């Protein structure tokens, strides 16, 4: 019964990890551009007492084997990049990506990070930046006397200047996509960085080469579904409880066996 004790313990550990993932998803249900994380499980190596296909007497073979599993482990967390809920804000610098793609953000050390959070601001120099002051790339600077900012679906940025009848184009927003966005590494602050698993970024114009379109005056909310997370919470709780009962049952059997010996 010692094997049952350790096997059930692996199940409790795995469900605890599942609860941690669910808690993080629920905590970020209102985080702009947040993508749900899903925990992946994998069974551990089984102890094979009898191998299927092994030769028996008179040239016959075992049709089935005898294997005892040793439990489960948490093997990976997969980030689900489905579209989040679109939220209308009316702000000129709120931009939603409708489809695939990421905004490019320059970090303090000059390297690039990527985000789906399209809630942008203007710093003291008029540069478009994130809420943390990190600059959008390619850089866009809005003149101080601009009265209105217009962003088209394909990323062109133009402004209205007093005394001018037509808007002036001041830049364009480019998006990037990855072969495997689930391979990106989250570094907090709604930012991701590329890894060898994600592949290199493929830049392009919104609406082209598989990239999504931009929607001004809107932001993308989290794609976390509370109902799904609550169902997962119940499943994790019941699985944890069942594994704990297995440990109790194993302990009771061991105690009974010891009492018989005495």
Reading the block at residue 152, the tokens are 């088209």
For residue 250, the model assigns a pLDDT of: 85
How do strand 121-122 and strand 202-204 relate by DSSP bridges?
unpaired
50 three-class SS = strand
Instruction: Give per-residue pLDDT as tens, 238-248.
Output: 999 999 998 88
Nearest-angstrom CA–CA distance, 121 and 109 = 20
- Say how far apart CA 118 and CA 129 lie, in whole Å: 10
> Two tokens at 102?
């990421």
Beta strands 218-220; 135-137: pairing state: unpaired
User: What is the pLDDT confidence band of residue 251, given thresholds at 50, 70 and 90?
Assistant: confident
161-172 pLDDT, tens digit per residue, is 988 888 999 999
| Residue 58, Ramachandran bin (φ over 0: left; ψ between -120 and 50: alpha; else beta) | left
Backbone angles phi, psi at 63, to 5 degrees: -75, -30
For the stretch 178-236, pLDDT in tens is: 999 999 999 999 999 999 999 999 999 999 999 999 999 999 999 999 999 999 999 99
Return the pLDDT at 260: 81
Q: Is the pTM of this model over 0.75?
A: yes
Q: What is the pLDDT of residue 61?
A: 74
Tens of pLDDT, residue by residue over 49-58, are 777 767 677 7
């Amino acid at each position: 019964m010692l094997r049952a004790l350790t096997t059930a313990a692996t199940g409790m550990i795995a469900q605890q990890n599942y609860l941690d993932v669910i808690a993080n998803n629920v905590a970020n249900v209102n985080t702009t551009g947040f993508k749900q994380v899903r925990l992946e499980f994998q069974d551990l190596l089984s102890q094979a007492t009898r191998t299927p296909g092994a030769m028996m007497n008179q040239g016959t073979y075992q049709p089935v084997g005898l294997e005892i599993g040793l439990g489960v482990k948490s093997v990976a967390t997969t980030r689900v990049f489905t579209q989040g809920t679109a939220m209308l804000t009316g702000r000129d610098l709120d931009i939603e990506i409708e489809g695939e793609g990421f905004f490019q953000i320059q970090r303090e050390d000059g390297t690039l990070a990527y985000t789906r959070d399209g809630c942008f601001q203007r710093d003291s120099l008029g540069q478009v930046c994130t809420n943390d002051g990190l600059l959008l790339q390619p850089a866009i600077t809005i003149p101080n006397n601009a009265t209105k900012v217009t962003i088209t679906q394909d990323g062109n940025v133009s402004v209205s200047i007093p005394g001018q009848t037509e808007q002036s184009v001041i830049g364009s927003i480019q998006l990037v996509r990855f072969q495997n966005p689930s391979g990106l590494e989250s570094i907090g602050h709604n930012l991701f960085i590329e890894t060898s698993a994600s592949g290199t970024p493929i830049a392009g114009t919104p609406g082209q080469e598989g990239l999504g379109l931009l929607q001004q005056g809107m932001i993308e909310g989290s794609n976390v579904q509370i109902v799904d997370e609550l169902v997962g919470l119940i499943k994790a709780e019941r699985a944890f409880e069942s594994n704990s009962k297995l440990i109790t049952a194993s302990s009771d059997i061991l105690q009974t066996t010891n009492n018989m010996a005495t």
